């Protein structure tokens, strides 16, 4: 009889328990908003063996679905509740429970609320009066809303249709819903429907109109939004910075610079941030500092896990979370709170918990049940919460006795490359956890590079050729022993290696870049070897037209490189067993990006110097060497003039300006590749004050081609040289022996004037001075001697002799008066500036066909050995005429040449 009892107990011990407490696989959302009459569901799905039965609690009381006439139903075998026609009185805190007799799983609690949006309170419409250029705020008192509503401002158009108010840098909405206008314009009377007084806008320096609270707490993972709205005319620019730190990569500036956003905010983002508002009238920086504090909802550090245990073992559940402030922990057994005071509905009434020396609660984070029995199956819940939220975990404890079983046998064979790791599967289950052993042939494997994983599989690290062989596994616990039915043959292959490594490349943008790479692998795996390329750890897309792999030599060519092609390129050689990788850097150098945020932060009042600053652009892998500051003016807005160049270390510059000019500026960066595109021009204009002209017209001369005229000509002064309005030229001239006469020219484009002259090539004293409404120029006025028109010369040569006649040449000799080179002679005989002689000759009777001319300039008229004798002014000149027609009678004449005429 005793032997029979032992056999029965053994059979019970070997029975495999297939039952498992339930576990939630789909929780409902924590907050669900509904509209009465519109269908909505609260999800709840659990799994377990056997399948669980669901029940719901509303506000802690069991929910009875009967009597709802299908208005509220539960979906089939699932726990999901469907409200086909929800009503206002359906609101409440809902929780789902799943019970299969081996435990009770619980869902998160659901805040089920009716969405409400009340109507605006009707107020008497008032017309607001404001001066043009002043700031204005339109208040908004939004109605009650659950959840909080988004706020928009609209106007009613001429067709009675509502349209949104246009928001921009000048007009915006603060976080409270009020409409803020930095400076009011006359056009706002139609857009926003206010009464604007005055047609001339007042100018104001930047001032604070509305800002976010200065001390705020944000929840980790949410988006920080800080906003600064400044009044002022012109509309202020807003700049942001972090005090004693830099912005995170998740920072963005939005809404025309007025809002700072940090998405997915982290604890390290806490600190002080500030905004600064500026316009051209600001005398100092206007700043607002924000203290940003970051707290967090609980996050798991150690989440409880499902546990399958055997009789006599210990089950420990650890529930640990972090958060700011520190979380508070609540434990539940089968959905019932675990408390220290027994009650009729308390989990302590459970015989395995209440007064059970095997159950232990260790601090807030740990519960344990020792010396487990088969009856100790249950569901366990842990909730860690603070004011920002909670994390909730639902796990089970299942106690079973099970002899070892091999769920997955090792494969027949495995191929692995040397130096790689390999896992030989042998998935084992059993309770208590079986002891797993592995054998190579008949030798037990222990330690070193060999590790038995919790699943039972064998991991071999840094495989060598000596590891090849046949492997099998064995599992045992107190209920039995099992050996794998299959033996795995491990084949070790030669390692894949890269032998030709890609090299780093530096190219100019627009040129091609080519990487080459080759390698080797095990002979038997060579047909499987492939070469691929990656850029920045991502495969090079086959659809990328500019990046092509040549499969003949496995090279990668990047055509027409651009800056963003720069990065790490990786050659990857694989045969399906192992992989080798080699990296190379591509640096694409290009012209720098243009500077940004160019602004005038000082426009002169008296010293005619402007100061600019800007933000440097991206250098594009080639350092910037210098910046060029250019200006344009309202005189010539499409023409940009380079004013000054500054070193690459600078982001400010001082520019000398001319009086009475409206300037705009832009900045260009230069590196060794070339010049950047110009920056955007400054949004504001720098205007300088007027003064008298600093100079007078240059290149003053006479043009002597008009008979009976003195024509005076000069280079006109451009508008940059006027220095003020009402610019004019004062042209004064005087004939010797006559009084000085003055002509006033009002058009600055004029570059000449003509006056009557009775004698040719007669000297006049001429002065030209610039003036404007501020007065005459401050420069010295030069006195020029200019001559009137030139006329036909009266002088003649003498003593003409022809000698040394040959078949094609002859020499002529003639005399002329040296006095013609003097002003007296030029006036009386040459009647112009003496330039020399022109010799004209032709064949007698054939003048029209054979006419030719030779010019003799003054520099060639004197004989080499000529010296004045002090008795005569005549000069004898020789000239050899060449290329004459042979056997011909040639006629000639000698003409005196001045600037415009000859005789």
Residue 582 burial (CB count, 10 A):
19
The one-character DSSP state at 866 is: -
Question: Cα separations (Å) of 244 from 212, 307, 644?
Answer: 21, 49, 34
- Mean pLDDT to the nearest integer, 820-842: 88
Question: Cα separations (Å) of 892 from 487, 529, 590, 811, 878?
Answer: 126, 97, 70, 12, 15
Local structure of 8: helix, strand or coil:
helix
Q: Model confidence at 773, in pLDDT bands (50, 70, 90)?
A: very high
**Is it the case that residue 12 has pLDDT exceeding 80?**
no
Tens of pLDDT, residue by residue over 776-829, are: 999 999 999 999 999 999 889 999 999 999 999 999 999 988 888 888 878 888
Does the reported pTM lie above 0.75? no
pLDDT of residue 687: 86
Handedness of CA 545, 546, 547, 551 (dihedral sign): positive
Structure-block tokens of residue 303: 């989440």
The one-character DSSP state at 485 is: S
Q: Model confidence at 195, in pLDDT bands (50, 70, 90)?
A: confident
**Is it the case that residue 425 has pLDDT exceeding 70?**
yes
Structure-block tokens of residue 226: 């800080």
* Cβ atoms 486, 409 nearer than 8 A: yes
* Cβ atoms 622, 672 nearer than 8 A: yes
Structure-block tokens of residue 424: 């030989």
Q: How far apart are CA 830 and CA 792, in angstroms?
A: 8
Tens of pLDDT, residue by residue over 672-721, are: 999 999 999 998 888 888 999 999 999 999 999 889 999 999 999 999 99
Residue 448 burial (CB count, 10 A):
9
Structure-block tokens of residue 569: 């390129």
**Which helix (H) or strand (E) covers residue 274, if one does?**
strand 271-278
pLDDT of residue 551: 85
Local structure of 419: helix, strand or coil:
coil
pLDDT of residue 1: 32
pLDDT of residue 119: 87
pLDDT of residue 901: 64
pLDDT cut 70: percent of the chain above it = 94
* Cβ atoms 524, 493 nearer than 8 A: yes
* Cβ atoms 770, 781 nearer than 8 A: no
Nearest to 132 by CA among 191, 179, 198, 230: 198
Q: What is the CA radius of gyration of the chain?
A: 50
813-814-817-822 Cα dihedral, nearest 10 degrees: -60
pLDDT of residue 823: 81
* Cβ atoms 434, 476 nearer than 8 A: yes
Q: How far apart are CA 563 and CA 584, in angstroms?
A: 16
Give me the phi and psi of 524, to 5 degrees please. Answer: -75, -10
pLDDT of residue 602: 86
pLDDT of residue 902: 53
* Cβ atoms 117, 149 nearer than 8 A: yes
Q: Model confidence at 585, in pLDDT bands (50, 70, 90)?
A: very high
pLDDT of residue 875: 87
Structure-block tokens of residue 405: 């079983």
- Mean pLDDT to the nearest integer, 826-850: 91
Show Cβ contacts of residue 132 under 8 Å, excluding neighbours closer than 6 positions.
Answer: 184, 185, 186, 196, 197, 198, 199, 200, 201, 202
**Is it the case that residue 17 has pLDDT exceeding 50?**
no
Which residues on adjacent β-strands are paired with residue 765? 734, 785
Q: Find where tokens 């008497």 sit.
A: 124
**Is it the case that residue 15 has pLDDT exceeding 80?**
no
- Mean pLDDT to the nearest integer, 129-149: 89
- Alpha-helical (H) ranges within 573-709 are none
Degrees (nearest 5) of the Cα angle 645, 651, 657?
50
Give me the phi and psi of 632, to 5 degrees please. Answer: -130, 160
Q: Model confidence at 149, in pLDDT bands (50, 70, 90)?
A: confident
Tens of pLDDT, residue by residue over 279-334, are: 878 777 789 999 999 999 999 999 999 999 999 999 999 999 999 999 999 999 99
Characterize 585-613 residue by residue with b for buried, 16 or more Cβ atoms within 10 angstroms of its Cβ, and e for exposed. Answer: ebbbbbbbbbbebbbbeebbeeeeebebb
556-558-563-569 Cα dihedral, nearest 10 degrees: -10
Q: Model confidence at 620, in pLDDT bands (50, 70, 90)?
A: very high
Distance in angstroms between the alpha carbons of the first and the last residue of the chain: 162
- Mean pLDDT to the nearest integer, 561-583: 95
pLDDT cut 90: percent of the chain above it = 72
Q: What is the mean pLDDT of the chain?
A: 90
């Amino acid at each position: 009889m005793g032997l029979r009892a032992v056999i029965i107990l053994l059979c019970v011990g070997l029975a495999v328990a297939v039952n498992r407490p339930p576990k939630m696989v789909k929780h409902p959302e924590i907050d669900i908003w509904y509209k009465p009459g519109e269908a909505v569901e609260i999800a709840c799905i659990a799994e377990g063996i056997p399948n669980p039965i669901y029940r719901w609690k509303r506000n802690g009381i069991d929910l009875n679905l009967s009597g709802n006439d299908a208005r509220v139903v539960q979906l089939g075998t699932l726990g999901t509740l469907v409200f086909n026609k929800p009503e206002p009185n359906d609101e409440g805190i809902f929780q789902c429970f799943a019970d299969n007799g081996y435990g009770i799983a619980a869902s998160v609690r659901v805040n089920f609320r009716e969405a409400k949006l009340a109507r605006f309170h009707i107020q008497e419409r008032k017309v607001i009066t404001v001066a043009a250029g002043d700031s204005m705020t339109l208040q908004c008192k939004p109605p009650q809303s659950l959840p909080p509503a988004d706020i928009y401002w609209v106007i009613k158009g001429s067709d009675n249709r509502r349209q949104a108010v246009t928001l921009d840098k000048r007009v915006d909405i603060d976080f409270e819903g009020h409409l803020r206008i930095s400076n009011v314009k006359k056009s706002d009377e139609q857009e926003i429907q206010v009464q604007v007084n005055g047609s001339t806008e007042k100018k104001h320096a930047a001032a604070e109109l509305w800002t976010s609270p200065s001390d705020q707490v944000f929840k980790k993972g949410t988006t920080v939004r800080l906003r600064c709205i400044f009044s002022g005319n012109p509309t202020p620019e807003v700049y942001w910075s972090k005090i004693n730190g830099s912005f995170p990569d998740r920072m963005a500036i939005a809404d025309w610079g007025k809002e700072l956003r940090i998405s997915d905010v982290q604890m390290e983002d806490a600190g002080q941030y500030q905004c600064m508002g500026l316009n051209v009238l600001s005398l100092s920086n206007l700043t607002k500092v924000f203290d940003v504090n970051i707290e967090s909802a609980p996050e798991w550090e150690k989440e409880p896990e499902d546990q399958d245990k055997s009789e006599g073992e210990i089950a420990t559940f650890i529930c640990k979370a972090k958060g700011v402030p520190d979380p508070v922990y609540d434990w539940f057994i089968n959905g019932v709170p675990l408390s220290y005071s027994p009650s009729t509905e308390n989990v302590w009434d459970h015989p395995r918990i209440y007064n059970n020396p095997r159950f232990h609660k260790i601090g807030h984070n740990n519960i344990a049940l020792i010396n487990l029995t088969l009856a100790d199956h249950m569901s366990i819940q842990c909730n860690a919460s603070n004011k920002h939220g909670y994390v909730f975990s639902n796990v089970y404890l299942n106690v079973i006795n099970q002899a070892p079983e091999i769920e997955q046998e090792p494969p027949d064979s495995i191929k692995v490359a040397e130096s790689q790791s390999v896992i030989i599967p042998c998935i084992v289950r059993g309770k208590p956890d079986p002891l797993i052993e592995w054998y190579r042939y008949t030798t037990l494997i222990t330690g070193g590079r060999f590790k038995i994983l919790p699943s039972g599989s064998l991991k071999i690290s840094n495989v060598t050729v000596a590891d090849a062989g046949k492997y099998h596994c064995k599992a045992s616990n107190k209920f039995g022993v099992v050996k794998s039915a299959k033996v795995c043959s491990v084949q070790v292959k030669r390692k894949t290696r890269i032998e030709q490594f890609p090299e780093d490349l530096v190219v100019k943008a627009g040129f091609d870049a080519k990487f080459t790479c080759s390698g080797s692998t095990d002979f038997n795996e060579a047909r499987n070897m492939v070469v691929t390329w990656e850029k920045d750890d991502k495969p090079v897309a086959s659809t990328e037209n500019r990046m092509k792999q040549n499969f003949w030599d496995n090279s990668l060519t990047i055509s027409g490189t651009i800056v963003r092609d720069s990065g790490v390129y990786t050659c990857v050689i694989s045969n399906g067993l192992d992989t080798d990788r080699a990296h190379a850097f591509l640096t694409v150098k290009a012209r720098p990006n243009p500077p940004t945020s160019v602004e005038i932060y000082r426009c002169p009042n008296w010293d005619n110097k402007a100061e600019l600053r800007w933000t440097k652009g991206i250098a594009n892998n080639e350092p910037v060497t210098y910046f060029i500051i250019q200006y344009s003016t309202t005189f010539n807005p499409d023409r940009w003039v380079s004013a000054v160049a500054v070193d690459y270390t600078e982001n400010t510059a001082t520019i000398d300006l001319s009086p009475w000019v409206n300037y705009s500026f832009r900045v260009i960066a230069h590196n060794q590749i070339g010049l950047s595109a110009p920056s955007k021009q400054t949004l504001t204009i720098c205007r300088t004050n007027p003064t008298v002209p600093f100079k007078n017209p240059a290149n003053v001369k006479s043009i002597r081609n008009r008979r009976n005229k003195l024509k005076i000509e000069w280079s006109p002064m451009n508008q940059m040289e006027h220095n003020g309005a009402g610019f004019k030229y004062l042209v004064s001239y005087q004939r010797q022996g006559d009084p000085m006469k003055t002509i006033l020219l009002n058009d600055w484009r004029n570059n000449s004037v003509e006056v009557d002259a009775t004698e040719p090539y007669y000297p006049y004293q001429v002065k030209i001075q610039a003036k404007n409404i501020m007065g005459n120029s401050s420069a010295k006025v030069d006195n020029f001697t200019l001559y009137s028109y030139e006329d036909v010369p009266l002088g003649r040569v003498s003593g003409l002799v022809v000698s040394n006649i040959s078949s094609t040449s002859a020499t002529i000799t003639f005399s002329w008066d040296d006095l013609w080179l003097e002003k007296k002679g030029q006036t009386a005989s040459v009647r112009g500036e003496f330039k020399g002689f022109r010799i004209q000759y032709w064949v007698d009777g054939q003048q029209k066909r054979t006419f030719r001319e030779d010019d003799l300039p003054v520099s060639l008229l004197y004989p080499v050995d000529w010296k004045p004798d002090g008795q005569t002014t005549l000069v004898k000149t020789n000239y050899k005429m060449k290329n004459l027609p042979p056997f011909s009678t040639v006629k000639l004449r000698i003409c005196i040449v001045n600037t415009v005429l000859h005789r």
